[in-house]
């Protein structure tokens, strides 16, 4: 087990520094070495003891990292869309892919499965209709009858027929695929010149995916594939932020939120039973922050009911969507106080501080999230600019869910060496690494984000101890109760030991 490290006592440092300046003009090299060691030990995983086998693997990893740093084009300094192939083909990535990474704690429901599968598998199923919006986007529905027209969308086309009539079906498929993800082979800076433009496209991809994935049979396959994509990336557990939309059948009938949650539960159980190295999944019910107050009140009430009726799978509640464009948490204070007022348990997992605009109402979300006793902080990109929020997050052990690739693609930071989590990781602030919306960013699982964290803002200093601590953090900061966490850690340790023994020579 790994505990929180102690921050070195300021008094000790003062004494050391006195000694340092005690008459000598050249500082004592032994003192210098002590200080360097001390500072290194302050980072995430800085106090993790490595076995001999782990030390061997650590040297191997550091050599691989050096190779990455020696490249002419340093991947963490590049836009991820351009760096993806460089990362994927690197020897280091292959190790990270096999490394047991623990849990994904920040992941959204309809961006967990690759869009290639959506196009090549889902849109080829029978009864799939498509329409084209007046904003150059697309919408889908499965229906046994000709569906009712949608406002601001062309008449529905049966996709099968459209494909048969099209001159080049591959071209059509590519254009559908481009509508379902942000990833592009073109220059991302040109395609997405500003934060508002990329957020607009991002929300459009969700709208386009929605009609495909809320069809009951597709929903089941989608989630099941989502779980296996995590599992093959050596992830054992996840907490999924889910909108829990109504699911529908071919005849147009639909089910309510409880059914959606029950389906998640059933498929999770089945997947966990079939894959002994997998621990499970829980759901954080979310609503879009563009909602008005009465809608959020209703959502919180629904969340309390679901939390009561499905305590095993329900982890809590959150608001999603662009913070800068939506209302701040404080605007919803009445709704968010309902659980405390009614003495009902509803843990919060707020997105907060996913902004680079200091001093706005939205920028106060970090402090407000903590005032509302959030269990974790989604992104916390602005945390360094809020010393009090940062201190509270540390002392209350409220972990920050750091999503490096998401922050870069959504234009908060260009060069990932400059990500604020570089600071947080250098001082072992409670944090986990996560992937947010892998399908939108052209990633899968967690390994790409681990690469950026380890090579980019981890720099030369982060080592195998860091990676091990990050994996342990992901279980320790999950919503699992203490006894489940112990079980999960035992399972993780088993796969970790196997991984270490297979990688050393
Ligand atoms: C990286 O480059 C340095 C300086 O050119 C060289 O000494 C070192 O061996 C290289 N490391 C690797 C792992 O290629
Ligand atoms: C589509 O996906 C389902 C579920 O993963 C699978 O059973 C089926 O074989 C796939 N079909 C095609 C045509 O790839
Ligand atoms: C269509 O696009 C315009 C400009 O990008 C935007 O302002 C508008 O909200 C969009 N309409 C819909 C329905 O998304
Ligand atoms: C069909 O479109 C794809 C993608 O746009 C292109 O690569 C391919 O050459 C086209 N095929 C034909 C026969 O035109
Ligand atoms: C979405 O699909 C439409 C219709 O095929 C196409 O005109 C548009 O360019 C696509 N949008 C993107 C972002 O690829
Ligand atoms: C969903 O419908 C079922 C009955 O079909 C009902 O028991 C349940 O309370 C409903 N759930 C919600 C969240 O409305
Ligand atoms: C909130 O939104 C709902 C649904 O869009 C709408 O029916 C309702 O009138 C709105 N309430 C207020 C107070 O704006
Ligand atoms: C937050 O936790 C404190 C201490 O347990 C409690 O007094 C307060 O009511 C909680 N606030 C909310 C909004 O849940
Ligand atoms: Zn998110």
pLDDT greater than 60 at residue 367: yes
In a domain, 62, yes or no: no
Assess whether 102 and 120 both reside in one domain: no
Residues 161 and 302 in one domain: no
Is 231 found in the same domain as 312?
A: yes
H or E element in which residue 425 lies: helix 421-426
Tell me the best of 154, 200, 210 to mutate to test the pocket of ligand 3, counting ligand atoms within 8 Å of each CB and taking the most. 200
Same domain, 294 and 438: yes
204 CA → ligand 3 middle, Å: 10
Residues contacting 36, CB < 8 A, separation 6+: none
Cβ contacts of 259 within 8 Å, gap of 6 or more: 246, 247
Take residue 148 and report the two structure tokens written for it.
């009712």
CA distances from 1 to 177, 469, 472 (A): 44, 10, 9
483-502 pLDDT, tens digit each: 999 999 999 999 999 999 99
Q: Both 152 and 288 in a single domain?
A: no
Q: What pLDDT was estimated at residue 247?
A: 98
236/158 same-domain check: no
The answer to whether the CB of 196 falls within 8 A of the CB of 413 is no
Do 403 and 365 reside in the same domain of the chain? yes
Q: Tell me which DSSP letter residue 323 carries.
A: T
The mean per-residue pLDDT over the stretch 380-386 comes to 96
Same domain, 427 and 308: yes
The answer to the question of residue 209 being in a domain is: no
Distance 436 CA to ligand 2 centre (A): 25
Q: What pLDDT score does 503 carry?
A: 73
| pTM beyond 0.85 | yes
Average pLDDT over residues 119-126: 98
Strands 157-158 and 376-379, sheet pairing: unpaired
Query: Residue 215 gets which letter from DSSP?
Result: B
Angle at 320 between CA 355 and CA 135, to 5 degrees: 90
pLDDT tens string 255-266: 999 999 999 999
Using the Cα atoms of residue 8, residue 14, residue 15 and residue 17 in order, give the sign of their dihedral.
positive
**178 and 254 belong to one structural domain:** no
Please identify, by atom number, the ligand 5 atom nearest to the C-alpha of residue 204: 13
For residue range 42-67, what is the model confidence (pLDDT) as tens digits?
999 999 999 999 999 999 999 999 99
Structural domain total, the chain: 3
Taking CA atoms only, the protein residue closest to ligand 4 atom 3 is 171
Q: Closest ligand 3 atom to the C-alpha of 137?
A: 14
- Is the pLDDT at 157 greater than 50, yes or no? yes
**Ligand that comes closest to the CA of residue 403:** 9
**How far apart (Å, rounded) are the C-alpha atoms in residues 216 and 400?**
34
Asked if 301 and 384 sit in the same domain, the reply is yes
| Inside any domain, residue 491 | yes
Residues 290 and 194 in one domain: no
- 59 within domain boundaries: no
- Residue 341 backbone zone (phi > 0: left; psi -120 to 50: alpha; other: beta): alpha
Closest CA to 111 of 249, 258, 210, 259: 210
Residues with CB under 5 A from ligand 9 (ion): 436
256 belongs to a structural domain: yes
Q: Ligand 9 mean position to 320 CA, how many Å?
A: 7
One domain, residues 324 and 443:
yes
Q: Which domain holds residue 172?
A: 116-202
- 136 CB near ligand 4 (under 6 Å): no
């Amino acid at each position: 087990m790994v505990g929180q490290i102690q921050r070195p006592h300021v008094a000790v440092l003062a004494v050391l520094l006195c000694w340092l300046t005690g008459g000598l003009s050249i500082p004592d090299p032994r003192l210098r070495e002590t200080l360097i060691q001390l500072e290194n030990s302050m980072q995430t995983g800085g106090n993790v003891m490595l076995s001999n086998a782990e030390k061997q693997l650590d040297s191997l990893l550091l050599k691989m990292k050096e190779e990455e740093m020696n490249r002419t084009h340093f991947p963490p300094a590049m836009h991820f869309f351009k760096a993806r192939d460089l990362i994927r083909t690197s020897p280091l990535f292959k190790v990270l892919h096999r490394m047991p990474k623990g849990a994904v704690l920040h992941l959204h429901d309809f961006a967990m499965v690759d869009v290639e599968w959506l196009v090549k598998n889902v849109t080829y199923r029978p009864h799939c209709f498509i329409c084209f919006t007046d904003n150059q986007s697309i919408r889908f529905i499965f229906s046994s009858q000709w569906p009712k027209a949608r406002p601001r969308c062309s008449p529905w086309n049966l996709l099968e027929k459209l494909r048969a009539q099209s001159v080049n079906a591959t071209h059509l498929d590519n254009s559908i695929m481009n509508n379902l993800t942000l990833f592009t082979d073109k220059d991302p800076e040109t395609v997405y010149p500003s934060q508002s433009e990329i957020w607009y496209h991002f929300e459009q991809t969700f709208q386009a995916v929605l009609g495909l994935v809320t069809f009951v049979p597709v929903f089941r396959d989608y989630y099941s594939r989502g779980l296996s994509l995590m599992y093959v990336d050596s992830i054992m557990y996840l907490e999924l932020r889910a909108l829990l939309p109504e699911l529908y059948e071919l005849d147009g009938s639909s089910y309510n939120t409880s059914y959606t949650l029950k389906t998640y539960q059933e498929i999770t159980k089945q997947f966990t039973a079939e894959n002994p190295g997998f621990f499970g999944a829980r759901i954080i019910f979310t609503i879009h922050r563009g909602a008005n107050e009465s809608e959020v009140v209703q959502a919180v009430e629904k969340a309390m009911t679901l939390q009561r009726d499905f305590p095993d799978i329900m982890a809590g509640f959150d608001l999603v969507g662009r913070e800068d464009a939506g209302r701040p948490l404080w605007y919803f204070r009445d709704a968010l106080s309902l659980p405390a007022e009614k003495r009902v348990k509803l843990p919060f997992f707020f997105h907060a501080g996913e902004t680079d605009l200091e001093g706005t109402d939205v920028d106060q979300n970090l402090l407000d999230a903590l005032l509302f006793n959030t269990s974790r902080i989604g992104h916390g990109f602005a945390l360094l600019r809020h010393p009090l929020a940062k201190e509270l997050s540390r002392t209350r052990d409220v972990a920050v869910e750091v999503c490096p690739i998401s922050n870069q693609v959504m234009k908060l930071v260009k060069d990932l060496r400059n990500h604020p989590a570089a600071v947080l990781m250098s001082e072992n602030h409670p944090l986990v690494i996560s992937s947010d919306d892998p399908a939108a960013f052209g990633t899968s699982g967690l390994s790409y984000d681990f690469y950026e964290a380890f090579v980019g803002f981890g720099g030369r200093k982060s080592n195998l101890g860091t990676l091990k601590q990050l994996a342990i953090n992901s279980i320790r900061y999950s919503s699992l109760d203490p006894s489940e966490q112990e079980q999960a850690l035992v399972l993780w340790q088993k796969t970790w030991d196997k991984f270490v023994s297979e990688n050393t020579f």
